[in-house]
Structure 1
């Protein structure tokens, strides 16, 4: 990994210390610079979790990704900078309150004087590290987070009282997530194959491009605009997310879920 190249992608300088202030700054910069997106699935690109492939995609080709990609590569950067950072699996809560499958999500735990939850791959989520052992509500620009121990020893993460995911305490290598990443990117039952999204937080809210629909939330006010042409959609990807796409992703249901042999990536949540 070229650390300086990755930091330049985040518009961040090499930190002097691996401390909480640095961790918070890097998380903020990552969320602002690297969008949460599942475009590869709808561009016919194979999703790989190999670190060199992730680095090429996210840093050199200035793309985004979903949880396994974003948190997988960010955890590797944190370790290069001297942090003790590990990946942890989580089950995402469905709208009806039931839990999704194991390894449905990957998040990061960073050990400082105490453990902190860091997540740059869940769509709308905390912009700052969350105290993993905290029992009180934690305020964040995205809302109020509460982390609760479960009887089985896991941790439920709630945002404004609504359960987001259940986090395992055990550490996992990125390779553990490869089968689920394949399922998420190929199964007709996956949320990611049935939706098309590109999203990132802004200083005043959030901007999301879902197909041809541009959604901006500014100071709590949501505005939706239907983009009329492919040129307008392509421009939105470039202006709002810095994505220099040479072709547009095809809406769900209109593309075979197989990798393109001529794509350079051929080599595997917006809430």
Structure 2
């Protein structure tokens, strides 16, 4: 990522260029990213190719002011952090599903980030709803922050389980990976009828007050910090497009619809 791209990325998330790659700077960058770059799977349903290459990801997230899912968001954010002088490693994870079953290998991408003031952090801007701030990688007790109560727990074979409010989120490998290692996982999420990304539309981000706004198809949900929710069904295409534009910064020519794996509108 060149200096011009770094500057454009920082403008995208409304952040100043940090003087040093410190823990405080990392916390600020993660929070601003979560507030401005939505977690979304629209590319799957509008026929856009997802390419796990840094230039293509930067063009989408920074150039086109779009969001993405884990490989895109954490892949791009990791490139930004690396360009800013942080020590970044890409880590593979398997997401816990129903009844505690683990999903596919490389089903999620997260980041291990080291800072110049001695911090070692699990950083994740691509899980949808997780911690607002980086989690201390070596801490095994509870970590309480605005996103919930978290624990990082030792698992088998040297892996780590990430737990939020007592519920398993994903199992993390500690071996660093390359972005290209995640292509099979991204392809599965993009194409498989079993992937929840092919079954529904989602666009979601953290709000300034710590709540969340989510557009699922035509249903707009605003969640307050105390957990109360306001749900509204949007009745017209114009309303849907206006929400994408005004609440998520995404300009679309037409309303996305869920597509069958064979590419037909559903």
- Structure 2 distance, partners of 1:254, 1:80, is 37
Instruction: From 149, 153, 168, give the equivalent of 2:154.
Output: 149
Report deviation, 1:183: 1.3
The 3-state SS of whatever aligns with 1:134 is coil
- Superposed displacement of residue 114, structure 1: 4.0
**1:79-108 superposed Cα distances (whole Å, 9 cap, x missing partner):** 100000110000000021111111000000
Structure 1 CA distance for aligned equivalents of residues 6 and 90 of structure 2: 19
Structure 2: unaligned runs, 5 residues or longer: none
Whole-angstrom distance in 2 between the partners of 1:244 and 1:256: 22
**TM-score of the superposed pair, with normalisation by structure 1:** 0.92
In the alignment, the residues of structure 2 paired with residue 60 and residue 114 of structure 1 have an alpha-carbon distance, to the nearest angstrom, of 31
Q: Deviation of residue 255 (structure 1)?
A: 7.0
* Residue number in structure 1 paired with 2:87: 84
CA deviation vs aligned residue, 1:98-131 (integer Å, no higher than 9, x gap): 1111100000001232421000000010010000
1:18 is aligned to 2:21 = yes
Pair 1:165 & 2:170 matched = yes
Which residue matches 1:230?
237
Structure with greater helix share of residues: 2
Q: How many residues align?
A: 258
Equivalent position of 1:53 in the other structure: 56
Give, in whole Å, the separation in 1 of the partners of 2:188 and 2:258.
19
Q: Secondary structure at the match of 1:192?
A: helix
TM-score by length of 2: 0.94
TM superposition shift of 1:172:
0.1
Answer whether contact 2:40 2:204 (CA < 8 A) is retained.
yes
Q: Deviations over 1:114-164 (max 9, x none)?
A: 421000000010010000110210011111001101131111000000000
Cα distance between partner residues in 1 of 2:37 and 2:119 = 27
- Structure 1 residues 208-223: aligned runs within 5 Å: 208-219=214-225, 220-223=227-230
Q: Secondary structure at the match of 1:249?
A: coil
Q: 1:104 maps to which residue?
A: 107
Cα distance between partner residues in 2 of 1:64 and 1:86: 21
CA deviations 1:185-228 (Å, max 9, x no partner) are 11112111011100011114111000000011113211110000
Q: Displacement of 1:249 after TM fit?
A: 1.2
Q: 2:191, 2:261 within 8 Å by CA — same for their partners in 1?
A: no
List, as ranges, runs of 4+ consecutive aligned residues in structure 1 with deviation greater than 6 Å.
none
Question: Alpha-carbon deviations, 1:232-264, whole Å to 9, x = none?
Answer: 00001111111111222122439707xxxxxxx
Q: Which residue of structure 1 lines up, in the alignment, with residue 9 of structure 2?
A: 6
| C-alpha RMSD of the superposition | 1.4
SS at 1:6's partner residue? Answer: helix
Could you give the per-residue CA deviations for residues 12-50 of structure 1, whole angstroms, max 9, x where no partner exists?
111101000000000001101100000000001111111
